[in-house]
A and B are shown apart, each in its own frame.
Chain A
Amino acid sequence: MATVGEVFRRSLPETIDQVRDDSSSSSELHVLAVDDSLVDRKVIERLLKISSCKVTAVESGTRALQYLGLDGERASVGFNESSVLREIPVVVMSSENILTRIDRCLEEGAEDFLLKPVKLDDVKRLRDFIMKGDGKDGGETRIHKRKRQDDYASLSSPSPFPACDPSSPLMPSSSPSARSSKRAKLRNKD
């Protein structure tokens, strides 16, 4: 699967250092959109701008990591190791409605999955949901917290992304019912 997706970030930093220093919370969402198709980048950029988001569109996962200051050897921590970056919601976009893939994305901690072609309503719904997550409930509506490398290490499985038992105490607080309701929503898109 081509690495496409969106990374939502609440503040507007230009470098990763600014993320740490930036204590002010802007009400505008800054989205890092990743897509290898120029056509799709143009469309998602417009969809997000019209939904009052600031957008940075890049063409690959590599470029996305570079933008976040996490490229290759220079990076001291990975995307999931950084306590700040780990909080950034990730949304996956794909043109293919493959349930096992969607499930895996959600299990790995993706906030949501958008089926392409993405519509304005999809973006609006998503933005509202993400914005709500920063409210009084302290982000409790956010049920998917991405696993850290430590979480993987403590599970005795050879593969880098083990299929994890949701009832295990090491697991993120994503409940099977929440996942299946998301799945149901996505299925209707057929």
Chain B
Amino acid sequence: MDVMTQLQRQWREHTAYLRKEGYLDDQFEQLQKLQDENSPDFVAEVVSIFFDDSEKLLNNMARALEQKVVDFKQVDAHVHQFKGSSASIGAMRVKNLCIEFRNHCEAQSLEECVRCLRKLQYEYSVLKNQLEYLFRLEQQIRAAGV
């Protein structure tokens, strides 16, 4: 099997794995449909924006939860944004955690919120690694095709 075929198989298997394990849902596939010769890096570009956005939001959540008097509405606003953007790229696990997080915000339970934030930070970093691996494969595929 040549390098190209091998790489492509790895890419397919990894994508299937991410779907099966629920890291990604149908929406990710929707994004892939929007990528073509005119916009060959579309998915990577959107995901890159998502990474920047997410890190900002996670920091905002952490800071908001560290305040002496926690403004749960503020925390919720950040989580709501994160839920929106993760849904837009198909990051299902992250999105579902955001839904859970919002419930804790509504209940104004600091302990649960902090715990949820930690889970969210963890899931996000796992997702980031998985997607970065996927994009590296894509770059290798492109390089092998030249």
Contact = CB atoms under 8 A, between A and B. Distances in A.
Contacts of B53: 37-39
A37 B87 contact: no
Interface in B25-40: 27, 30-31, 33-34, 36, 39
B45 A42 contact: yes
A87 interface: no
Nearest to A121: B30
Interface string B41-54: 01001100110010
Interface residues of B, number: 21
Interface string A31-55: 0000001111011001100100000
B84 interface: yes
A46 B53 CA distance: 19
Majority SS of interface residues in chain B? helix
Contacts of A43: 31, 34, 46, 88-89
A95 B86 CA distance: 11
B42 A39 contact: no
A40 B84 contact: yes
A119 B30 contact: yes
A95 B79 CA distance: 13
16 contacts: A37-B53, A37-B85, A39-B46, A39-B53, A39-B88, A40-B88, A42-B46, A43-B31, A43-B88, A46-B46, A47-B34, A95-B83, A95-B87, A117-B27, A120-B30, A120-B34
A116 B81 CA distance: 12
Interface residues on A, range: 10 to 19
Interface in A62-119: 95, 116-117, 119
Majority SS of interface residues in chain A? helix
Contacts of B31: 43
B42 A46 contact: yes
A91 to B, nearest CB: 17
Nearest to B81: A37
A161 to B, nearest CB: 24
Interface string B62-82: 000000000000000000010
Contacts of A37: 53, 81, 84-85, 88
Contacts of B33: 120
B34 A39 contact: no
Given A39-B49, A117-B88, 11 more contacts: A37-B85, A38-B49, A39-B46, A39-B88, A40-B88, A43-B46, A47-B34, A50-B34, A117-B27, A117-B30, A120-B30
